[in-house]
């Protein structure tokens, strides 16, 4: 993690007003639709259209990257070795971007960055300080959420990563570990993983920035890819032995840090999906999606017990209780709410009236964050155990994607609520009693 995390930030903040390329005023216009050019979207996995407490300002479940009125990207320019980095000009100059690699107590390499008129920069992290465009907090899985969630300890870096997008077509986006702080500095402390060989200087952040490129793009036939780590300089590495092992793995020379439609970005605590503007064309629009749901509802699915017509909700769950669909997760039979088949122990297990198989009975919820869909098909399947509905291929794709959790493991999660999925297959086909009339 950048040393900046532990450093009081006001020691360099007070020197000069921020440069116009990346000042506070910049944000309002970057969030608006400059020249109508949208680069793409970053969607935090685990939310179904908004944060539990709502989307507010830079804290939201999805961030849209628009072309900025003025370029604010930076690129490496020159480097030099200093004895005391904190007194060096590049660091004290708060209009100058720099990355400091601390080699020992009295030696550091400072890489100075200069403005790049051809790229726009977007920064992501836990900090609500000004340089962060998209403030991301640790995601609590859906099944563990309560009304008063507070994160006591976060594993997400305050200045976790930065994305640079070419301002010209095809608007290539590249990701780099670590973000510049309010003083426009990135510090890699003595303990951070870094290497300085010949001309090359680079490093990794404490918990690292991982990416995963799906094989075959982001569509109905895509398959999960291999997770890689991205360095501060944007090079690709195999994952370390564990998340914060202080040794880098081998560089993967035939891969790059370019974000493709469907690339996942893991910040150790939150996982983001990159959807390119072009890729999003294949996702259903709100209107198309409502139409897909209307087509399912036109079959007048019926509860086999109450014989009432069920209604699939367009957003989340339905307010009207006796039309709300539920599913038996063992068999996929869809029912309305009813009191029958509760097992003696009083647990979640219930007996399906249609096939007598015993399993959990859960409320169906519509997966309505459409950027998570790999195709434009009817939401005929649901994730298990949470009951979020999506198209078959969307469920199948996410059920096979291992998403990092904590510092060691990976597991497949529901992209709408981050609940870990049940073992294979983690999703199921919904069986409606419809077209009965």
Partner 1 sequence: MTGLGLPRRIIKETQRLLAEPVPGITARPDDANARYFHVVVAGPSESPYEGGTFNLELFLPEEYPMSAPKVRFMTKIYHPNIDKLGRICLDILKDKWSPALQIRTVLLSIQALLSAPNPDDPLANDVAEQWKSNEAKAIEFARQWTRQYAMNNQTPQPSF
Q: By CB under 8 A, name the binding residues for partner 1.
A: 304-308, 338-341, 351-354, 356
Whichever of 51 and 354 has its CB closer to partner 1, that residue is 354
Whichever of 351 and 376 has its CB closer to partner 1, that residue is 351
| Closest approach of partner 1 to the CB of residue 323, in Å | 12
Whichever of 140 and 331 has its CB closer to partner 1, that residue is 331
Could you tell me which residues are beta bridge partners of residue 176?
162
Tokens linked to 109:
């390499």
| Closest approach of partner 1 to the CB of residue 350, in Å | 12
- 151: Cβ–Cβ under 8 A, 6 or more apart, which residues? 137, 138, 140
| Closest approach of partner 1 to the CB of residue 432, in Å | 13
Q: What is the rounded distance in angstroms from the CA atom of residue 30 to the CA atom of residue 33?
A: 7
| Closest approach of partner 1 to the CB of residue 431, in Å | 12
* 3-state DSSP assignment of residue 384: coil
For residue 159, CA distances in Å to 74, 130, 132, 232 come to 16, 11, 7, 12
| Closest approach of partner 1 to the CB of residue 353, in Å | 4
Whichever of 28 and 356 has its CB closer to partner 1, that residue is 356
- 327: Cβ–Cβ under 8 A, 6 or more apart, which residues? 333, 334, 335, 361, 362, 364, 382, 387, 428, 430
Whichever of 195 and 340 has its CB closer to partner 1, that residue is 340
| Closest approach of partner 1 to the CB of residue 357, in Å | 11
Q: What is the rounded distance in angstroms from the CA atom of residue 209 to the CA atom of residue 5?
A: 16
| Closest approach of partner 1 to the CB of residue 328, in Å | 11
Instruction: For 274-308, give the secondary structure using H, E and C.
Output: EEECCHHHHCCCHHHHHHHHHHHHHCCCECCCCCC
Q: What is the rounded distance in angstroms from the CA atom of residue 303 to the CA atom of residue 90?
A: 69
Whichever of 141 and 353 has its CB closer to partner 1, that residue is 353
- 123: Cβ–Cβ under 8 A, 6 or more apart, which residues? 131, 132, 133, 134, 159, 161, 162, 163, 179, 180
Q: What is the rounded distance in angstroms from the CA atom of residue 210 to the CA atom of residue 227?
A: 6
Whichever of 349 and 422 has its CB closer to partner 1, that residue is 349
| Closest approach of partner 1 to the CB of residue 378, in Å | 24
Whichever of 318 and 417 has its CB closer to partner 1, that residue is 318
Task: Please choose, from the candidates 201, 240, 222, 270, the residue with its C-alpha nearest in 3D space to the C-alpha of residue 42.
Answer: 270
Tokens linked to 84:
């005391």
């Amino acid at each position: 993690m950048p040393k900046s995390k532990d450093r009081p930030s006001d020691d360099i903040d007070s020197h000069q007003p921020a440069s116009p390329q990346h000042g506070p005023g910049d944000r309002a216009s970057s969030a608006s639709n400059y020249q109508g050019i949208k680069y793409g979207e970053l969607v935090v996995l685990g939310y179904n259209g908004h944060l539990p407490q709502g989307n507010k300002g830079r804290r939201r479940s999805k961030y849209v990257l628009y072309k900025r009125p003025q370029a604010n990207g930076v690129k490496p320019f020159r480097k030099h070795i200093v004895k005391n980095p904190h007194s060096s000009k590049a660091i004290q100059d708060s209009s100058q971007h720099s990355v400091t690699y601390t080699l020992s107590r009295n030696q550091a390499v400072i890489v100075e960055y200069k403005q790049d008129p051809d790229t726009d920069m977007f920064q992501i992290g836990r900090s609500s300080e000004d340089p962060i465009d998209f403030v991301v907090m640790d995601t609590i899985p859906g099944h563990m959420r309560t009304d008063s969630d507070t994160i006591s300890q976060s594993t997400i870096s305050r200045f976790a990563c930065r994305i640079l997008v070419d301002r010209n077509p095809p608007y290539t986006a590249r990701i780099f570990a670590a973000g510049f702080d309010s003083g426009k500095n990135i510090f890699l402390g003595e303990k951070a993983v870094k290497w300085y060989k010949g001309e090359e200087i680079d490093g990794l952040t404490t918990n690292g920035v991982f990416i995963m490129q799906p094989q075959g793009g982001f569509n109905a036939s895509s398959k999960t890819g291999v997770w890689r780590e991205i360095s501060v300089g944007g090079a690709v590495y195999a994952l370390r032995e564990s998340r914060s092992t202080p040794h880098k793995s081998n560089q993967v020379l035939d891969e790059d840090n370019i974000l493709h439609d469907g690339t996942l970005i893991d910040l150790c605590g939150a996982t983001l999906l990159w959807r390119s503007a072009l890729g999003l064309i294949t996702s259903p629009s709100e209107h198309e999606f409502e139409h897909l749901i209307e087509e399912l509802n036109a079959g007048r699915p019926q509860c086999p017990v109450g014989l009432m017509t069920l209604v699939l909700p367009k957003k989340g769950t339905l307010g009207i209780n006796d039309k709300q669909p539920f599913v038996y997760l063992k068999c996929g039979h869809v029912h309305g709410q009813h009191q029958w088949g509760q097992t003696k122990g009083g647990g979640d297990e219930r007996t399906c009236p249609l096939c007598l198989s015993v399993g959990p009975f859960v409320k169906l919820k519509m997966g309505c964050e459409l950027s998570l869909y790999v195709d434009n098909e009817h939401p005929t399947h649901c994730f298990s155990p949470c009951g979020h509905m999506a198209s078959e291929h969307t469920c199948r794709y996410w059920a096979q994607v291992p998403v990092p959790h904590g510092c060691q493991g990976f597991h497949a999660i529901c992209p709408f609520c981050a609940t870990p999925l049940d073992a294979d297959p983690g999703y199921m086909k919904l069986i409606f009693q419809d077209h009965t009339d």
